[in-house]
């Protein structure tokens, strides 16, 4: 069986010198889809939908700043400490999803002070939107031939022609479809069960499922760190605190009254 050869032009549209890249278009679609999911839940629960406009601004800033800083500090610290101005050069690539998640949580905390809603209540709803956001972002990584998997002899291996001619695990697609399944599961829990009444429970399920998948898929990824890793990859180490936090939230949610 011949392997699929992936050689997508990173530019989606080019018009009069203006270029729209696949990555940017899919990232924008990720934000827009997550935002619509939040609006749908807000409308269903009779909450102030218009207040989400402010949260969208906070969240975009938090995601970009958090993702950039975590990448610089945890994946290539020696380079960025030697060239601190390069931290601002986000157009050169380098965004860590763990940092993006932390940035979104900080943005939500700032927003929570304005709307006077329980923080864990908001986190439960943000978790559902974040899962579908992650689905599109990993598709963007796939379109951009980045966050590669290790070489494989499996028939579903994909050759990323812009990188080399080795068939590799499509790790981006593994993660993308894992996040899609998690989104479907979380939305079903929100819609059909009473778990949403236990503040923090849905967010706990999100953390456990997402970072369990992340730890497993990291084992077939090419290391993104610029330094030697032992035992676990940088992505796996960064996932462990989130996974532990999810377990704690689930225990707390079911040990206290609604």
Query: CA 40, 43, 47, 50 torsion: positive or negative?
Result: positive
- Is the backbone of residue 248 left (phi > 0), alpha (psi -120 to 50) or beta? alpha
Q: Which residues pair with 221 in a beta bridge?
A: 149
What is the arithmetic mean of pLDDT over 210-217?
94
Sheet holding 158-160, edge to edge: 4-6, 158-160, 167-168
* DSSP at 167: E
- pLDDT value at position 227? 58
Check: CB of residue 38 under 8 Å from CB of residue 129: yes
Residue written as token pair 């999911």: 37
- Is the backbone of residue 198 left (phi > 0), alpha (psi -120 to 50) or beta? beta
Give the H or E element holding residue 158: strand 158-160
* DSSP at 231: S
- pLDDT value at position 131? 96
Q: Is the pTM of this model over 0.75?
A: yes
Residue written as token pair 């996974």: 243
CA atoms within 13 A on the CB side of 98: 20
Name the residue with higher pLDDT: 256 or 81: 81
What is the arithmetic mean of pLDDT over 155-178?
95
Residue written as token pair 């992936």: 6
- pLDDT value at position 30? 92
- pLDDT value at position 52? 92
Q: Which residues are annotated as a binding site?
A: 138
């Amino acid at each position: 069986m011949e392997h699929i050869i992936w050689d997508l032009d990173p530019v989606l549209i080019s018009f009069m010198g203006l270029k729209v890249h696949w990555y940017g278009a899919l990232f924008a679609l990720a934000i827009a889809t997550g935002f619509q999911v939040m609006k749908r839940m807000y409308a269903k629960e009779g909450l102030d939908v218009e207040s989400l406009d402010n949260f969208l601004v906070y969240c975009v800033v938090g995601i970009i700043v958090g993702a950039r800083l975590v990448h610089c500090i945890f994946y290539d610290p020696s380079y960025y400490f030697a060239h601190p101005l390069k931290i601002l050069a986000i157009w050169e690539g380098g965004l860590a999803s763990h940092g993006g998640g932390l940035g979104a949580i900080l943005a939500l905390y700032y927003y929570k002070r304005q709307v006077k809603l329980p923080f864990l209540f908001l986190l439960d709803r943000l978790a559902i939107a974040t899962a579908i956001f992650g689905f599109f972002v990993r598709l963007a990584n796939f379109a951009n031939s980045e966050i590669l998997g290790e070489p494989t002899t499996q028939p579903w291996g994909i050759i990323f022609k812009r990188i080399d001619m080795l068939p590799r695990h499509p790790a981006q697609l593994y993660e993308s479809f894992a996040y899609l399944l998690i989104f479907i599961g979380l939305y079903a829990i929100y819609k059909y069960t009473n778990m949403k009444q236990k503040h923090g429970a849905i967010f706990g399920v999100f953390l456990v499922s997402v970072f369990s998948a992340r730890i497993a898929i990291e084992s077939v990824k090419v290391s993104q760190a610029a330094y030697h890793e032992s035992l676990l990859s940088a992505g796996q180490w960064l996932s462990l605190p989130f996974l532990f936090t999810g377990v704690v939230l689930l225990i707390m949610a079911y040990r206290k009254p609604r």
